[in-house]
Structure 1
Amino acid sequence: MSISSHSTAPAPASESAEEAAETRSGLVRTLTTILLNVSVLTALLVYFGWVRSDRMAAELGIDESILQMSVEDYLLRSVRSVFVPVLFVGLAALAWVGFDRWWTGRRARDVHDPIATWFARWMWAIALGVIVGGLLLGYIGLAWTFIAGPLIAAGGLLLIAYGFRLRASLPGAVAVSSTTEAVFRGATALLVAVGVFYSAHNYAIVEGTSLAADYERVVATLPGVEVDSAHPLDLTAPGVVALCRSEGEDTRYRYTGLRLLDRTGGNYWLVSDGWTREYGAVMALPTNGDGTRFTFVRDMDGQRDSGTFAPCDSGTPATGSVE
C-alpha cells in the first residue's frame, strides 16, 4: 500500500502543469489559426483598404466606386490600417509576458504570497473594468479613443481568460470541464478577433478622414501634371490654365495647373492647384488617350516655361483659363 500511494502522489501535480500549459497555448493557437488564414487575411486587408479609400473619396466629394480600384490598390492602402493595431497588440503581449513572469515568480517563492493571491482573486474584476473602459472610450469622440477603444476592450477579454486561469490556481478552486474550457477559449478568441478588426476598421476611417482634411494644405506638394492634347479637353477648374499652339491648320492644347490625385482603373485622376473643400473638381483622363501626352513636373521655384504655347483666344475651342 505504501508503494502504491507513493507512486501515484505526483500525478495530480503533473496533470495540473500540463493543463496550465494547454490553457496558456490554446488561446494563442486559436487566434493564430484565425489570423494566419490567407484567404481571411487577404479579404480583411482588401476591406480595410476599401474603407480608407471610401472615406477619403467621400470627404473629397466623389464616390469611391468611380475610381475603379483593383484588389492590389486596396491591399497597398490597407497596410497602415493593419500595422498600427497589430503593433499595439504585440506590445501588449510583451507586457503580459512580463506580468506573468512576475506573478509566477512570486508564487514560486511563496504560494501564499498576499499580492499574488490578490491578483489571482481579482484579475477578473480588473479585466471587466478594462472592457468597460474600452467601450466607453469609443464615445469620447477623439481619433485615438475611436481607434483604441475596441483594442482595449479586446485586451480586457484576454485578461478575463488569464484571470480565470489565475483563479484556478487558488486553493479550493472548482475545476471546469474540458468542453467548457474549449468553448470559453474559442468564444474569447472570436471576440478578441472582432475587437482587433474594429480597431483596424476605425483606424482606416480616421486615416481616410485625416488625409482628406489635410488635402487642401498638401495639394501644392502633389506631382504637377501638364496635359498636351490634339483635341480640346475643356478642363475647367480653379487654377487650370488652357494654352494653345497652332500647327498649320491644327491646334495643339496644353493644360497646366493640374495635380495628380491617383492612378487607378486605367485613368489619371487630377485635381487643380485651386482645389478647396468648398469647391474642388476631380477630373479623369485615360492614361492611353489618343493624342494625349502627360508631363509630370516638379517646379519648386516657379520656373515653368510654356514654350511656344500661349493663352488660348476666346475664339478657339479651348475655353481659356479659369481663375
Structure 2
Amino acid sequence: MTSPSPDPATPLGRLGQVAGSVAQVVAPLSVLTALLFYFGYASSRARYLYFGVDVDTIGLSTQDYVMRSPEPLLTPLLVLALLAVVVAVVHERVRHRVQAALADAEDADPQVAASGRHRVERGSRQARAVVVTGDALLLVGVLLLVGFPSWGGWAYYPLVTPLLMAAGTGLALYGRRIARSLRPGQPPSGVVTVVLSVLLVISVFWATATFAEWSGRGAAREAARHLDRLPAVILDTTERLHLTSRGVRETALEPSEGQTFRYRYRDLRLLVQGEDRVFLVPERWDASNSTLVVPMDDSVRLQFRFLNDPP
C-alpha cells in the first residue's frame, strides 16, 4: 500500500515542492562546477608544467580553477554553438522535406503518391548513407583508440581521435533518426541510441579536455615570450640563494642594526601565487632558467615594482 503524496496546500507539501525545485537547480550547478573545475585544472596543469611546476604544489582552490576555465573553454564553446546553429538549420530543412514526402506518399492522386514514395525511398537511401559514413568515421576513431601504442606519440592524436569519434557518432545518430522518421512504424533501437549518445558525450569531453591542455601550454609559451609583462618583484632574503638562472641580479645589502635581510634579487617576475608561497621566474626566458619557490614567511621580503609607464 503506497502512502499518499503530501498536499501542496499544506506546509509539508510546500516544503516538498521547494526541496524538489532546489534539487533540480543544485544538481546541474554541481555538474557545471565540476566540469569548469576539471577544464580549469587541465589548462592550469599544462600551463605551469611548462615552467616545471606541478600545479598541485601551488595550492590553488576550486574557485581559482573555475575562474581559470573560461579561457580554454571559449573556443570550444563557440565552435559547439556555431555547430548547433548549423545542425538546427539543416534539421529544419530536412524535417520539412520528410514531412512533405510522407504527406505526398499518402495523397489520393496516384501520381503525387508515387512521387512521394520515390522521395521517401531516396531519403531513406540518403539516411543510410549518412549512417554508413558515421559508422566508418567511428570505426576509424576506434581503430586509432585501439592503436594507441603505435599512434599515441602522434602530436594530434588526442584531438583527431575524439573528433573522429564525435563526428561518427553524431552522423550515425542523426542518420538513424531521419531513417526512423521516414518509416513511422519502425521501432526505435534504444540500446544503440543510448550507446552512441554516451560515446558522443565522452568524445566531446575528451576533445574539449585536449583543447584545454593545449590552450594552457599555448598560454605558457606566450607568457614565456613576454615574461616582462608579469608583475616585477624585488626579493630580499636572509640567506644567499645561489641561483643558477641567468639574468637575475644579486646584491648584498649593507648590514645594519636590526636588519635581518642580507641579499637582494632583482629582475624576477611573479608567475603565480599559491596559498602560502609564490613562484618567481627570471625576467628573460632561457633554457637554463628555473622557477623559484618562495615561502610567504619572515625569511623573505617581497617588493612589487611599479610599471615603467608614468600616468
Residue 147 in 1 paired to residue 120 in 2? no
Give the whole-Å Cα distance in 1 for the aligned partners of 2:300 and 2:217. Answer: 37
From the superposition, tell whether residues 142 and 255 of structure 1 become closer, same or farther in structure 2 (CA, over 3 Å): same
Residue 254 in 1 paired to residue 261 in 2? no
Match of 1:203 among 208, 211, 216: 211
Match of 2:126 in 1: 119
1:91 positional shift: 1.8
From the superposition, tell whether residues 225 and 291 of structure 1 become closer, same or farther in structure 2 (CA, over 3 Å): closer
Give the whole-Å Cα distance in 2 for the aligned partners of 1:164 and 1:212. Answer: 44
Q: Is the Cα–Cα contact under 8 Å of residues 82 and 200 in structure 1 kept in the other structure?
A: yes
Give the whole-Å Cα distance in 2 for the aligned partners of 1:160 and 1:268. Answer: 50
Q: Secondary structure at the match of 2:35?
A: helix
1:174-216 per-residue CA deviation (whole Å, 9 max, x = no partner) reads 6226xx42x3443233222111110121112212332344443
1:68-108 per-residue CA deviation (whole Å, 9 max, x = no partner) reads 22212222222233333233222222111111122223334
Residue 74 in 1 paired to residue 85 in 2? no
1:132 positional shift: 4.6
Match of 2:181 among 169, 174, 180: 169
Aligned-pair RMSD on alpha carbons?
A: 3.3
Q: Is the Cα–Cα contact under 8 Å of residues 134 and 152 in structure 1 kept in the other structure?
A: yes
Q: Which runs of 5+ in 1 are unaligned?
A: 1-32, 302-323
1:46 positional shift: 2.1
From the superposition, tell whether residues 235 and 288 of structure 1 become closer, same or farther in structure 2 (CA, over 3 Å): same
Aligned residue pairs total 260
Match of 2:44 among 48, 53, 57: 53
Give the whole-Å Cα distance in 2 for the aligned partners of 1:165 and 1:190. Answer: 16
Counting only pairs closer than 5 Å after superposition, residues 1-323 of structure 1 correspond to structure 2 as 37-110=28-101, 111=116, 112-113=118-119, 116-132=123-139, 141=154, 146-147=158-159, 149-170=161-182, 175-176=186-187, 180-181=189-190, 183-228=191-236, 231-232=238-239, 234=241, 236=243, 237-246=245-254, 248-249=256-257, 250=259, 253-276=263-286, 278-287=287-296, 289=298, 292-299=301-308
Give the whole-Å Cα distance in 2 for the aligned partners of 1:252 and 1:271. Answer: 21
Q: Is the Cα–Cα contact under 8 Å of residues 76 and 208 in structure 2 kept in the other structure?
A: yes
Give the whole-Å Cα distance in 2 for the aligned partners of 1:72 and 1:169. Answer: 46
Code of the residue aligned with 2:308 in structure 1: it is D
Q: Identity, % of aligned pairs?
A: 25
Match of 1:5 in 2: none
Give the whole-Å Cα distance in 2 for the aligned partners of 1:38 and 1:197. Answer: 17
1:157 positional shift: 1.2
Q: Which runs of 5+ in 2 are unaligned?
A: 1-23, 102-115, 146-150
Q: Is the Cα–Cα contact under 8 Å of residues 51 and 290 in structure 2 kept in the other structure?
A: no
Q: Secondary structure at the match of 2:241?
A: coil
Code of the residue aligned with 1:107 in structure 2: it is V
1:256 positional shift: 0.9
Code of the residue aligned with 1:240 in structure 2: it is V
Give the whole-Å Cα distance in 2 for the aligned partners of 1:268 and 1:253. Answer: 18
Match of 1:30 in 2: none
1:233 positional shift: 5.2
Code of the residue aligned with 2:62 in structure 1: it is V
From the superposition, tell whether residues 294 and 106 of structure 1 become closer, same or farther in structure 2 (CA, over 3 Å): same
Q: Please report the TM-score for the alignment, with normalisation by the length of structure 2.
A: 0.69
Code of the residue aligned with 1:161 in structure 2: it is L
Code of the residue aligned with 2:86 in structure 1: it is A
Q: Secondary structure at the match of 1:37?
A: helix
